[in-house]
Amino acid sequence: MTTPTTPIPTKNVLLLRTPAEGGLNNFENAFNTHGYLPTSVPVLETIFVNVEDLSSKIAAGPQNQSLSGVIVTSKRGMEAWSNAVKSIVSADPVDWSSVLFYAIEEATASATAELRAALPSRLVPGDTRGQAQSGTAEKLAHFISSDLSARADGSTARRLLYLTGDKNHDTLPNILTSAGIVLNALRVYATHGSPSFLHDLKNVIENVQAGKWPVEMFNRLKCQQGPTTASFMQDVLKLHVDVVAPRPTSRDLASAISAFDRT
């Protein structure tokens, strides 16, 4: 039986995202598997805010706040949780390990697993749900509503801590509020344009002009990770979108682009 091998990268793809730190991450691995050589250029920078407020909420524990779960819609939100836990000097023996944790995508869920290995288990939500069933805020909201309604432990708590960034839409909170679920929203991070983006992109363009990259690689700028991004590009920026991944994961994005190239 022949063991499948990863093809040698022969095609270039530009990813507008923060490069991996300390080696390859899911995106690099996914594109390498399909024979692509990815280059990442960061578009945004993230700053964490309200760290003390989040630390206070974590130290207070879920029971004292009548919380039955936590919603985080991005990996940055999980990083904010990690920063807050590390800033706690002392705390009563609170326990978050049995609290429901709702994540919108696999990257967020993976970040939760990493935190469980690095932080005291009682300070990290232990039951992660939703990442397989949701790819958008709307789908996650409907899943949360259904999941809380179906709980068989007799709990009537329907209050969730909702960790947000500075660019969240109202879709998820509107759906959950209509379902009678109370959200304690806390902004924990904000994003702004990377000051080095133009310089970094200029270097890539110069490599194209020098023949180090085929010009066709810029077609990849039209291949989007998910329907939310595609809608923005089409409706707001008026750009043509060639490919939309069925789910916002690195594997689905790489597979969708590879299938598009083959046709």
Give residue-wise pLDDT tens across range 229-251: 777 777 776 777 888 888 777 88
Residue 55's pLDDT band (cuts 50, 70, 90): very high
Residue 87's pLDDT band (cuts 50, 70, 90): confident
Question: What's the number of domains the chain is made of?
Answer: 2
Q: What is the CATH number of the domain that holds 82?
A: 3.40.50.10090
- Residues 173 and 57 reside in one and the same domain: yes
pLDDT score at 197: 85
**Which residue would you say has higher pLDDT here, 153 or 176?**
176
- Residues 39 and 70 reside in one and the same domain: no
From 237, 255, 238, 258, select the one nearest 246 (Cα to Cα): 255
Which residue range(s) make up the domain with 104?
47-191
pLDDT score at 103: 84
- Residues 86 and 158 reside in one and the same domain: yes
Phi-psi region of 129 (alpha: psi -120 to 50; beta: other; left: phi over 0): beta
**Which residue would you say has higher pLDDT here, 220 or 170?**
170
User: Is the Cα dihedral 74, 75, 80, 81 positive or negative?
Assistant: positive
- pLDDT higher than 90, residue 42: no
Distances, alpha carbon 199 to alpha carbons 37, 55, 72, in Å: 21, 37, 32
CA 206 to chain centre: 31
- Residues 70 and 124 reside in one and the same domain: yes
Q: In 10 A of CB 102, how many CB atoms?
A: 27
> Beta 100-103 vs 69-72: how paired, if at all?
parallel
Give residue-wise pLDDT tens across range 95-141: 898 888 898 766 676 777 777 777 877 888 778 887 766 677 888 89
Which of the listed residues 155, 174, 191 is the one where a domain comes to its end? 191
Give residue-wise pLDDT tens across range 7-38: 555 687 888 887 766 555 778 888 889 998 88
Q: Is residue 4 part of a domain?
A: no
pLDDT score at 219: 47
- Residues 82 and 104 reside in one and the same domain: yes
Whether pTM exceeds 0.75 = no
- Residues 187 and 103 reside in one and the same domain: yes
- Residues 163 and 200 reside in one and the same domain: no
